[in-house]
Amino acid sequence: MAQTSNLREFQEAILSKLKDAANQVGGESSSRLGVTVGDKRFLVNLQDVKEVLPVPPMQLVPFTKPWFLGVANVRGNLYSISDLAQFMGMPATSKSTNNRILLLSTESTAQVALLVDSLIGLRSVQGMQLQSAEDEADFFSLNLYKDAEGGDWLELDIEALVQNKNFVQPI
């Protein structure tokens, strides 16, 4: 149990330091959190993520859309958990030890978490080429980037996602 607590504290400290560094620069940090969702790779602004955790036990909520997985107790707070892949029209996320939930930190919503296939880690958009994301607009994308290896990265617009009427009403 002590190791779990230490790992959580370590993760929280890293996220806190990254957010502080972005604020000290006085602007937007070029670092993003890289995650996989289905067969796509996404970049998530660090300001939009409160915490990243392994998938906790969930309580199902009857009569909701298939992508709404239920609610989970995270240190005394209830979070609604949604399968991001399934919400975006991709196949449901396969259960794996690599799955993670992103606890979102937005002003427009409370206690929302997204299930992702896996966490890739921090990525800098400074070393990537900005592309047109017109074809991917349905995926709540801000930008499309191409990395040095030619891989595509979609920057997820968390605010647009959590304000989407279908996302807000999972019934």
Which residues lie below 8 Å from residue 94, measured CB to CB, with a gap of 6+? 117
The answer to whether the CB of 108 falls within 8 A of the CB of 120 is: no
Domains plus CATH for the chain? Answer: 2-168 (2.40.50.180)
Q: In this predicted structure, what is the pLDDT of residue 136?
A: 54
Q: In this predicted structure, what is the pLDDT of residue 28?
A: 65
Residue numbers in the chain where pLDDT is lower than 70: 1-5, 17-28, 133-139
Q: In this predicted structure, what is the pLDDT of residue 124?
A: 94
Cβ-based neighbour number of residue 109 at 10 Å: 16
Q: In this predicted structure, what is the pLDDT of residue 4?
A: 56
Q: What is the radius of gyration, based on Cα positions, of the chain?
A: 16
Alpha-carbon span 27 to 93, nearest angstrom: 34
Whole-structure pTM value? 0.82
Q: In this predicted structure, what is the pLDDT of residue 58?
A: 98
Cβ-based neighbour number of residue 168 at 10 Å: 12
Is 116 exposed, middle or buried, given 0-12, 13-18 or 19+ CB atoms closer than 10 A? Answer: buried
Q: In this predicted structure, what is the pLDDT of residue 135?
A: 59
Is 115 exposed, middle or buried, given 0-12, 13-18 or 19+ CB atoms closer than 10 A? Answer: buried
Supply the DSSP symbol for 137: G
Q: In this predicted structure, what is the pLDDT of residue 19?
A: 64
